[in-house]
A and B are shown apart, each in its own frame.
Chain A
Amino acid sequence: MAAADLATTSLRELNAALHRLAPDSADLHWRVLNPRGEHAIAAGLTAPVTVEIDGHVGYYCAGMNQRARVVVHGNAGQGVAENMMSGEVRVEGDASQSAGASGCGGLLVIDGNAAARCGISMKGIDIVVKGSVGHLSAFMAQAGNLVVLGDGGDALGDSIYEARLYVRGSVKSLGADCIAKPLRDQHKGEVHRLLDAAGLGNQVDVADFHRYGSARRLYHFHIDNVGSY
């Protein structure tokens, strides 16, 4: 395993070394020590490397990720795994706002809570939050799945397009054009697949989840909806 200590190595050096990795590189398991809340740690990775970060990270950790697996042994600041394309990002603590923002693919797992705007504008990413999510989560979400084992905050799924939202607990309020929908077998299967991927296996009953999605009334401008825009 390769190790980088951010107390002695600069963040630029670390990220450059990670960017140089090829799929056949010898060492595809890295450990980052002393992250000290720095921003953009392990952002822009493209190799199928595993990066474990020992502590809390700042903004945009593992942003734009492709193929890599990034594990944060701590909390993450805003925008963790933003614009992720593929791979997996796991936060063992809490995540600040805009976790998984605009993500196109891959899996983001947050063991704790995610703050406001989790999955904002998500475009295909799968997000599993074991705790609760803050207000305006899945705002303008376009594709992908957001699974929340705890509660949803205010205005969940506001102006949502086609993403699927699954919440086990209560939801403070639904945003414009977001409605409750029936949880059919295909959805239970999907939740099960995502829980499996998040390492929860059969610990959670998929029937406990509520599904929310788009009522599809805001797709096109309609004068009757002017108050909702």
Chain B
Amino acid sequence: MCGIVGLFLKDQRLEPELGALLAGMLGTLCDRGPDSAGFAVYGEETPGRIKLTLRVPQGFDFEALLRRLAGVAGALLKPTIRDTHAVISVPAAKESEVRAELARIPDVDVVGSGRRMEIFKEVGRPDGVAARFALEKMSGTHGIGHTRMATESAVTTDGAHPFTTGPDQCLVHNGSLSNHNAVRRELARAGIRFATENDSEVAAGFMTWKMRQGASLQQALEASLAALDGFYTFVVGTESGFGVLRDPIACKPAVMAETEKFVAFGTEYRALVDLPGIAAAKVWEPEPAQAYFWARH
């Protein structure tokens, strides 16, 4: 089953409320995917720096980590710690050195990176996961989220969505792909790295691969219509916006709403009912096999 939400703000004044709105949407879709949840939020950018989202065990010693990273990247700001995840800001020029150092620490996984994207996911009921990470206090321009009912791979944190395979890029998926093993092998040969056996990660990898070749998100979405076989509704986030794609059969539900202030996606309309001004919103079902994309100006 699974549930997807996405929110793209057009009105800057709503940005401080992004997390609270997204948390409400995610909570409503608990019953579509009670086993795990995740979300990505596109927040403030610091010029010249990259955000790395790390996943660490409970009670992790961040002071020691910072001391260790200072050796390769100079003094770093205090990380923003949210439950099992932490976001560190590192000089863009030092990203590869920091990543190399982090790779030597067995307890630390880099689960996302980008100028603006922060990504959080865990096993558990979605409303509980959102609360653990204090999603309701986050601000940003856009965000996407997912509530998972696992079908294609195990219920693990790694198997939760969103999947990210490139900087500031992430994807959530409702459905199941049938040719993911073949596509994963092709993409792996082309240098895309995968962390799981999950089908949805392959879709994320495919988008990253297309965009690495110069495709826009819109073009990457359109290309996936031919390359990916199976059932899917995708919502994809990038640094500048978010996109939506449904497969041509369109079994997986999808509803969108747009006002002057936001564009929202929900697997069900129920997820959208508490958005401000929803009663006057244009509400419609995205067409099958048509790529939609909204970008920040």
Contact = CB atoms under 8 A, between A and B. Distances in A.
Interface of A: 36-38, 55-56, 58-59, 74-75, 77-78, 93-94, 96-97, 115-116, 134-135
A78 B271 CA distance: 15
Contacts of A78: 253
Contacts of A135: 248, 250, 288
B186 to A, nearest CB: 29
Given A58-B270, A134-B288, 8 more contacts: A36-B273, A58-B269, A59-B268, A75-B269, A77-B268, A97-B250, A115-B250, A135-B250
A37 B248 CA distance: 25
B111 to A, nearest CB: 32
B203 interface: no
B250 A75 contact: no
Nearest to B284: A94
Interface of B: 248-250, 253, 255, 268-273, 279, 283-285, 288
Contacts of A96: 253, 255, 285
A121 B87 CA distance: 52
Given A78-B253, A115-B250, A36 B270 contact: yes
- Please provide the 5 A-B residue pairs with the shortest distance between their CB atoms, ordered closest to farther: A37-B269, A37-B270, A36-B273, A115-B285, A56-B269
Which of A36, A37, A75, A78 has the most CB atoms of chain B within a 10 A radius of its CB? A37
A116 B248 CA distance: 10
Contacts of B272: 37
Contacts of B268: 37, 58-59, 77
Contacts of A93: 283
Contacts, number: 44
B273 A94 contact: no
Contacts of B250: 97, 115-116, 134-135
A interface: dominant SS: loop
Nearest to B271: A37
A94 B286 CA distance: 12
A37 B253 contact: no
Contacts of A55: 279
Nearest to B253: A78
B13 to A, nearest CB: 25
Contacts of A75: 269, 283-284
28 contacts: A36-B273, A37-B268, A37-B270, A37-B271, A37-B272, A37-B273, A38-B270, A55-B279, A56-B269, A58-B268, A58-B269, A58-B270, A59-B268, A75-B283, A75-B284, A77-B253, A77-B255, A77-B269, A93-B283, A94-B284, A96-B255, A97-B250, A97-B253, A97-B285, A116-B249, A135-B248, A135-B250, A135-B288
Which of A55, A75, A94, A115 has the most CB atoms of chain B within a 10 A radius of its CB? A115
A215 B138 CA distance: 59
B285 A56 contact: no
A151 to B, nearest CB: 13
Nearest to A93: B283
B274 to A, nearest CB: 9
A58 to B, nearest CB: 6
B261 to A, nearest CB: 18
Contacts of B253: 77-78, 96-97
A74 B271 CA distance: 16
A33 to B, nearest CB: 12
A37 B271 CA distance: 8
A30 to B, nearest CB: 21
Nearest to B278: A56
A38 B271 CA distance: 10
